[in-house]
Each structure stands twice: as C-alpha cells, then as structure tokens.
Amino acid sequence: MHIAPDIFQVGGQDHSSPEDAAVYLVADGDQAALVDAGCGGTTDRILDNITAAGVEPATIRWLLLTHCHFDHSGGAGAIRERLGCRLAAHEADTPFLEAGDAKVTAADWYGRQMPPLPVDHVIRGGGETFTLVQRRIEAIHMPGHSPGSVVYVTESDEHKIVFAQDVHGPLSPAFKSDAAAYRRSLEKLMALEADILCEGHFGVIHGKQAVKRFIADYLN
C-alpha cells in the first residue's frame, strides 16, 4: 500500500498475515529500510510486496524494530538472513530479544518460542538518527508499552510521517509495561504533530487532527 512518496506498507493483517503487525518500507534511491518484520511466517510475501512497491529487496540496509514483541520482531531473523541488512533495536528491549524471552516478547501469546535474536545495532538513550542516502529517519525512545519502545520519524513530500507501532498498548506486567511512562510517551508523541501516523494494528491515519484524536483516545 502506497502511503507517501517512497513510503509503503508491505506487511500486516491485510498485506501478509492476520497475526503480523504492520511492516513499513522507507526507500531513498538505492537504499531502503524496513520498520518491523511481522511474526515470520510470511517473509516471502513481505519480500514480494517490497518488489511490487518498486523497491529491490537487496537495497534494504536497515531493519528498524519499534519494540521487541513477537508480532513485530518474530520475522526479523529471517529477513536479515535473506537480505543481509542490519537489525536495530533499543537497548532497553535488546536483552529480551537476544535471550529469546518468550514472555516479555509475547511470543507465548502466539503459542511460539522466540529464537534468540542478536541485535546488530543498539539504539541508546533517547534515540539517534539513521540516514538513507539523503533521507533521515529519527529514532525516538518512547517507553511504556515495552521498556524499549521506539518511534521513527521521517519526512516525505513535506509531510512528517511517524511510525509509532502499538500506540494503543496494551500494557501488561508480562511485557514490563510502565503505565506512567506510556502516558508520558503518548504526550510526547502528540507533540510531534505528525501529518501521517503509521500504527501497528490500526492502519495509517492521515491528517494532523485525526492523528491527535487517535492518540488522545488512549490518553483519556
């Protein structure tokens, strides 16, 4: 699904598998990045969707995880093996990925095991900026749903696009969720004033006011 120039959805409920969270593609010339990876059962379909979007899968340089949960990270190992890209995740979620912690990653919610997933690039502190040719993708730490939840921000056609998976939660002690941090992160997300919000399970929300209303629903 085309979202904006060089921005696509290539995985998720209607694109790869009902159990997958959304997978987004950001391209810039001969380099590209994926945001999240689904559960891993439909990697071939995700790669086919990347090709259908007019992007050569071999150009994918980064696989950027928003957080450690299985519906976002379960397919990361297979995608990295197929494409040779580098996997990035925040330092607060990295231990659960690398240990294959089925409880904190929610793999057990899906009746699965989480294979240990080494992280190539650890995002530290409040975040950092990734670069694809001339496109910048800013990673911002927004904990709450998980300790290492991250949103990614880029621009396309003068629109600010925010990839904020699982704005809706849920919060669970099993995930090491933090309700106070979650609320602070939602307020911070609101302040970004995104023109387009790419969420993990509720699709793509267009327009500043619609984005703010969506976020506000979870602040009330």
The predicted-structure confidence for 52-88, as pLDDT tens digits, reads as follows 999 999 999 999 999 999 999 999 999 999 999 999 9
* Count of residues making up the chain: 220
CA dist 181 and 184 (Å) reads 5
Biggest distance spanned by C-alpha atoms of the chain? 43
Determine how many CB atoms are found less than 10 A away from the CB of residue 209. 7
- SS3 labels along the chain: CEEECCEEEEECCCCCCCCCCCEEEEEECCEEEEECCCCCCCHHHHHHHHHHCCCCHHHEEEEECCCCCHHHHCCHHHHHHHHCCEEEEECCCHHHHHHCCCCCCCHHHHCCCCCCCCCCEEECCCEEEEEECCEEEEEEECCCCCCCCEEEEEEECCEEEEECCCCCCCCCHHHCCCHHHHHHHHHHHHHCCCCEEECCCCCEEECHHHHHHHHHHHHC
Model confidence at 165: pLDDT above 90? no
CA dist 5 and 141 (Å) reads 26
pLDDT score recorded for residue 1? 87
Q: Alpha-carbon torsion 162, 165, 171, 175, what sign? A: negative
* pLDDT range class, residue 18, cuts 50, 70, 90: confident
* pLDDT range class, residue 220, cuts 50, 70, 90: confident
pLDDT score recorded for residue 214? 96
The predicted-structure confidence for 142-157, as pLDDT tens digits, reads as follows 999 999 999 999 999 9
pLDDT score recorded for residue 17? 84
Q: What is the pTM of this model?
A: 0.96
* Domains identified in the chain, total number: 1
Return the minimum-mean-pLDDT range out of 9-13, 15-19, 150-154: 15-19
| β-bridge pairing 60-64 and 31-35 | parallel
Range of the domain at 141: 2-219
Query: What is the separation of C-alpha 163 from the centre of its chain, rounded to a whole number of angstroms?
Result: 6
**8 Å CB contact between 165 and 68:** no
CATH number, position 110: 3.60.15.10
pLDDT score recorded for residue 46? 97
Over the chain, what is the mean pLDDT? 96
Mean pLDDT within 180-188: 96
Exposed e or buried b for every residue in 81-109, given b needs 16+ CB within 10 A?
ebbebbbbbbebbbebbeeebbebbbbeb
Mean pLDDT within 155-167: 94
Determine how many CB atoms are found less than 10 A away from the CB of residue 160. 16
Model confidence at 168: pLDDT above 90? no
pLDDT score recorded for residue 14? 86
In single-letter form, the type of residue at position 183 comes to R
